Chains A and B, each alone.
Chain A
Amino acid sequence: MTADDPFRRWRVSVVVMVATTALTVVCLFVIAVVQVVLAVLSHVI
């Protein structure tokens, strides 16, 4: 990070915002996949 960046805080905030959103999406996706797999297995077995 450049020391003379006047928008340092803003940029870090945007990265944190996007990272949080991405993490939430991934978590939701994983939960959905696990639920589907469990549902399939419960039908099959």
Chain B
Amino acid sequence: MLITAVTVVICLLLALPAIHGVRYATVILGASGRAFARAMGLGKEPHTAEIPKPSKGVANREYAHERYLRRQSWRDFRHANVRVWSEVGKTVKSCWEKLRVLHPAQVNPPRPEYTTFRRTAGAGVLIGTAVAAVVIAGLALAEAVALGVLFVAEYGFLWVLAGVDALVLRVRGVTMTCRNCGHRLTRAEYTCPGCKVRHHNLRPGRYGLLHRTCGCGYRLASTALSKNYRLESWCPHCDKPLAKETGLAGEIVIPLFGAPGAGKSQLITVLTVAIETLADRTGGTFAFADDQTRGNATKAWRGLVTTKRSEKTTLVSGATTVPAYSMYVKPRRGQMKLLHVFDAQGEVFYRSDKIQQLEYLRVAKTFVFVVDPLSIDRLWTSIAESHRPAMEKIRAQQEPSKTFHETVMTVIAMGIDLRKVHLVVALSKADLIEDSLRTVDRTDDGSIRAWLVDKLAQGNLVRAMDNNFKSVSFFLTSALATGHDTADSSVESFAERTLATQGFKL
């Protein structure tokens, strides 16, 4: 019985410093926890580590914050540890002070029970400090390990994310083509909606994974998965804006070529209306991809309805290509596509150096060759002389074979494999040569081909087309507006079948 009582007393005596130790450890850990939270930006009086402000216009640097785990996490780690250990020092010192400075009632006269209390409490401070230090060091180590693991995992995830993003774009057939210069882009530049600063390389990397934070604080999506195509985008080649939401849908690029006055611009004007009508009629959707296309198309259509003529295509000073007509078309069933229809000045096709500047020829899978039948001598001479003066003004001056051969030779020299390209031949101004077309079935490709070969002596041209291209189809078109403000049915048929060459059915 006595032994048990002595053991209990000894245990209690040993337990007293331990109890004090737990108490002081709690005090120290609480204070250091609060210091840690403040150092990480929490609480009423946060004191975070400084975040370096991104600079504008620095070579190979974007105006954006680097991703957290790359550098800032280590700055925060160091800062928080300095603050926490400093707080530990202050708290321990404060505890000692409280023990050292006693109330006069406790020391005058000296009372032994207080001396015992001070000794056990002092031991408790030492024990508490040691426990708290071990816990804090352990937590710091755990945090460092966790940050390190996350840092490594983030690098791995970065590559996976970039790969998945590229794969998704590939599966969805998404490409990016500049509607101004015609370059096929591997990446676009994007403008921050907050500060209008241009981000040149917006993809998973040093500035973030799915998102990045611009220097102005705006959060930008950096992958197609996080919908970066919603940002205003720019071509890195010509520094001009891309069509809205470029990168959202797959593209169809259709370039038109032909001699000056062949009717390319007028055909594009009516083609745009025809596609819109077809989409509406079949339950699909149609939208202009940018304000410039909307303005140009509306102006050209109004001009055509009023004057029955299209204005000649002109280049803006300093430009090498005419901006495409860009539109989003979605059939009732199937994926939406961004359609770029590229026009060019007819004079371009006189000179191979000018043709080579038409970058969009490299990415197009269907070419449209616009032929003015009036420019073919055999047909021209068959027209009554009394009708010729009126037609002379609207007649293309160069024979189609010259334009075709010049263009094809240059395109082949550019390294483009035309055996993978469809050719659609649009014989324009059909409304002016009704008499010559009496025996031709306008809906039959073979009949138009036979007419060209037999009646107009264009056998060499047709054979050259067959030899160079994957497939060739012929259409007779009257690029006119009907009384119902719609496109002529010949252009609707032409539009439908031209898009079908690329597997796009309206």
Contacts and interface: CB of A to CB of B under 8 A. Distances in A.
A1 B45 CA distance: 8
B48 A10 contact: no
Nearest to A44: B7
Given A4-B217, A6-B65, A21-B142, A12 B42 contact: yes
B72 A15 contact: no
A1 to B, nearest CB: 5
B76 A14 contact: yes
Interface residues of B, number: 30
Interface majority SS (helix, strand, loop, mixed), chain A: helix
Interface stretch (B32-40, B85-93, B350-358): B32-40
Contact of B51 (A7, A12, A18): A7
Given A11-B41, A44-B8, A25 B138 contact: yes
Interface string B27-69: 0010001001100111100101001000000000000010011
A25 B135 contact: yes
B139 A44 contact: no
A15 B142 CA distance: 12
A25 B33 CA distance: 14
Interface in A13-35: 14-15, 17-19, 21-22, 25-26
B102 interface: no
A2 interface: yes
A22 B76 contact: no
B146 interface: yes
| Most chain B beta carbons < 10 A, residue from A8, A14, A25 | A14
The 6 closest A-B CB pairs, nearest first, are: A10-B68, A6-B213, A11-B40, A1-B41, A15-B40, A7-B68
Given A14-B147, A22-B29, 6 more contacts: A1-B46, A2-B48, A5-B51, A7-B51, A10-B69, A15-B40
Interface of B: 4, 7-8, 11, 29, 33, 36-37, 40-43, 46, 48, 51, 65, 68-69, 72-73, 76, 135, 138-139, 142-143, 146-147, 213, 217
